[in-house]
Amino acid sequence: MTTLDGKAVAAAIRLELKSRAQAFEARAGRKIGLAVVLVGDDPASQVYVRNKAKACEETGIRSLTLTFPHNAPQGEIVRAVTSLADDTTVDGILVQLPLPDRLDAAAILAAIPPQKDVDGFSAENLGKLARNERACVACTPRGVMELLSRYRIETRGKHAVVIGRSNIVGRPMALLLLNADATVTVCHSQTKNLREECARADILVSAVGKPAFVTADMVKEGAVVVDVGISRINGKLCGDVAYEEVSERAAYLTPVPGGVGPMTIAMLLTNTVEAAERGLK
């Protein structure tokens, strides 16, 4: 079994991006800028935002974090996003999710112009992806595709099964695999015969969020298994896949941590660099 080492691949990508960020700065006379909007004091979100800011700094991207208290009015947040949209030194904008329930997340996200939507969550970017047109693609599924590609794993004609259909992982993941010529099955909480569906997969991507959800009997001998899930057991990170037993059957497998997670951040940086470069043309 070969480990799909997302940490190592992400490090190589970040090195490539560093020189692109330098080249951009030389041409544009300013650094690439990524703005992150954080509402409330959810500890996990705070950690994610800090990690994104750190990754930006290490890549030579200017990061700007706007924090709002959990009770900030909707209008104030929308106005802030709108002013970032108008700011020519800001190339990418992301709003850290989840937002507090009382807020209209869709309305806040709609204030991000598609060309600065580095999370790829907008209807326009998801719609373009569905039409197989060039789009800003959600970071996690894009990271999975990049990881497969760097290990030269063929998707054309392969049977790919995606477990999960969220707008940020499962759905764009299925579309990317389809656009890469795989035959795609999407499974979700209402799927009957999940085990049989998964056992037919040449490429199995799990994005559920339940520890040890994918067991060896769900995996075809020699399959490529990508574990997107992140859960915590006694403070320790784990994925959806029962790692030990699945590693006996899979040909390729991502670890958690060190698999898809680092690729997600690398793709956020990639989307930001690409957004900046597009703005220069």
C-beta of 85 vs 165, nearer to ligand NAD: 165
Kindly state whether residue 261 participates in binding ligand NAD, applying the rule CB under 6 A: yes
Q: Which two tokens stand for residue 27?
A: 């041409």
C-beta of 80 vs 137, nearer to ligand NAD: 137
Interface pick for ligand NAD out of 33, 92, 170, 172 (rule CB under 6 A): 170
Residue list 221-260, contact with ligand NAD (CB under 6 A): 228-231, 260
Provide DSSP, the chain. Answer: -EE--HHHHHHHHHHHHHHHHHHHHHHHSS--EEEEEEES--HHHHHHHHHHHHHHHHHT-EEEEEEE-TT--HHHHHHHHHHHHH-TT--EEEE-SPPPTTS-HHHHHHTS-GGGBTT--SHHHHHHHHTT------HHHHHHHHHHHHTT---TT-EEEEE---TTTHHHHHHHHHHTT-EEEEE-TT-SSHHHHHHT-SEEEE-S--TT-B-GGGS-TT-EEEE---EEETTEEE-SB-HHHHHTT-SEE--SSSSHHHHHHHHHHHHHHHHHHHHH-
Interface pick for ligand NAD out of 71, 189, 193, 234 (rule CB under 6 A): 189
- Judge contact between 1 and 223, C-beta under 8 A: no
Kindly state whether residue 141 participates in binding ligand NAD, applying the rule CB under 6 A: no
Kindly state whether residue 264 participates in binding ligand NAD, applying the rule CB under 6 A: yes
Kindly state whether residue 165 participates in binding ligand NAD, applying the rule CB under 6 A: yes
119 catalytically annotated: yes
Minimum gap (Å) between residue 170 Cβ and ligand NAD: 5
C-beta of 50 vs 72, nearer to ligand NAD: 50
5 catalytically annotated: no
Minimum gap (Å) between residue 19 Cβ and ligand NAD: 25
Kindly state whether residue 7 participates in binding ligand NAD, applying the rule CB under 6 A: no
The tally of CA atoms less than 13 A away on the side-chain side of residue 56 is 25
C-beta of 155 vs 185, nearer to ligand NAD: 185
Kindly state whether residue 163 participates in binding ligand NAD, applying the rule CB under 6 A: yes
96 catalytically annotated: yes
- Judge contact between 248 and 223, C-beta under 8 A: no
Nearest residue to 269 (alpha-carbon basis) of 99, 95, 60, 26:
60
Q: Which two tokens stand for residue 104?
A: 């209209």
- Looking at 31, 91, 116, 119, which residue is catalytic? 119
Kindly state whether residue 140 participates in binding ligand NAD, applying the rule CB under 6 A: yes
Residue list 65-124, contact with ligand NAD (CB under 6 A): none
- Looking at 31, 96, 117, 202, which residue is catalytic? 96
Interface pick for ligand NAD out of 64, 194, 212, 251 (rule CB under 6 A): 194
Minimum gap (Å) between residue 99 Cβ and ligand NAD: 14
Kindly state whether residue 191 participates in binding ligand NAD, applying the rule CB under 6 A: yes
Q: Which residues of the shown chain bind ligand NAD in the complex (CB under 6 A)?
A: 140, 163-166, 168-170, 187-189, 191, 194, 207-209, 228-231, 260-261, 264
As annotated, the active-site residues are: 52, 96, 119
